[in-house]
Amino acid sequence: MPFSLHPPGVGAAPAAAAATAAGLLSNTFALLSAPLPVGASTPPARLAAATAAFRALKQGVEPALTVAAFRLLGLLPSRLRGAVWARLTRRVSLTFSNVPGPVRAVAIAGRPVTGIACLVPTAGSVGASVGVFSYDGCVTLGVYGDAAVLPRGAAGLADALVRELDALCALGETGEESRGVVATHDRARGLRRPESRGAMRWEAAWRKDERQSLSSEASSVSSGGESEA
């Protein structure tokens, strides 16, 4: 999971112009690995376990240590760097990234932007990726993966994620289970669902078809230490 090391607000309008002038904008982030809550039997339990794991990682020393380790990794010869990276990624199931986007619709050169997808590359032996992007009141999931890793395909994982979110929001509406569920529902309130799941499945399938070409792109990125889970 990529985790930005910038202070909150840096890079976000209207702070972006000031940050650019001060030389604060960069692609500085750490790659953190957290256990997937596969042992939890209910959506609230999985949410609580994942939240606790991510919070502990972000508040600990792992981000700074990871950045230092990847800088050292970048100094190694390419063959040795590739071998070390491949060994590290064998312990990773998937890459996950959550990117908050503009809360209101924006335009580029006078043309409105109707939607944005977050497409996260993988590297090494990581065979699946999930990207979450929020824009103008809508959340988009971008999922792709190797058929050997996702037997039901990327669409199957995308549908499972949607079902999990639906279950959490439903519990939040009734006030059941835990405060974590209610908080999730509060954040989701007002978000509109995609017009059809067919569009989501189409996007996921397209990403799977593009897996071959994306592999070379991801491997070139990995030399700079970009993608893990």
- The string of pLDDT tens digits covering residues 77-127 is 988 888 888 888 888 888 888 888 888 899 999 999 988 877 788 777 788
Domains of the chain, by residue range, sit at: 2-222
**Per-residue pLDDT, 111:** 94
**Per-residue pLDDT, 112:** 93
pLDDT band at residue 20, thresholds of 50, 70 and 90? low
Amino acid at 13: A
In the predicted structure, residue 192 carries a pLDDT above the cut 50: no
Please say whether the beta carbons of 221 and 121 come within 8 A.
Answer: yes
Give the mean model confidence (pLDDT) for residues 140-150: 82
**Chain mean position to CA 73:** 23
Higher pLDDT, 202 or 115: 115
Which of 31-35, 107-111, 166-170 ranks highest by mean pLDDT?
107-111
Strands of the chain (E only): list them.
2-4, 29-31, 95-100, 107-108, 111-112, 128-135, 138-145
Task: List all residues 6 or more positions away from 23 whose beta carbon is below 8 Å from its beta carbon.
Answer: none
Tell me the pTM: 0.63
Higher pLDDT, 206 or 45: 45
Tokens representing 39?
């042992």
Which of 37-46, 173-182, 196-205, 206-215 ranks highest by mean pLDDT?
37-46
Q: Picking from 70-74, 89-93, 98-102, 186-190, which range would have the lowest pLDDT averaged per residue?
A: 186-190
Distance CA(92)–CA(35), nearest Å, equals: 9
Query: pLDDT above 90 covers what percent of the chain?
Result: 3
